[in-house]
Amino acid sequence: MTKRASTRTSRTVLILLAAVMAPAPVLAESACKGLEKAACETKSSCNWVNGYTRQNGTKVSGHCRSSPKKKPTASSSTSTSSSQ
């Protein structure tokens, strides 16, 4: 094996090790995930979504999801304008 091939092999091994050892992204599990309708409706942080059929024909079962986060609206900031 030549020095160049040895270096290339070593580099490949290091890249593969780095890829394997890199931490996977952690996604927070929702407190609403997997709840039945009755349990979902009792939690204020959850909303029940009724089942529906998408335009492409895929059927989506009813499920519980987290309530959307409230965003401040532009109208909540008070702007004073004087008309004189």
**55: domain range?**
29-67
Q: How many domains does the chain have?
A: 1
Domain annotation covers residue 72: no
Domain annotation covers residue 23: no
DSSP of the chain: --HHHHHHHHHHHHHHHHHHHSPPPP-PPPTTTT--HHHHHH-TTEEEE--EE-TTS-EE--EEEEPPPP---GGGS-------
Domain annotation covers residue 81: no
Question: Block means of pLDDT (10 residues each) for the chain, length 84 residues?
Answer: 71 71 64 94 94 97 90 61 49
> What is the model's pLDDT at position 23?
66
> What is the model's pLDDT at position 72?
72
> What is the model's pLDDT at position 52?
97
Domain annotation covers residue 55: yes
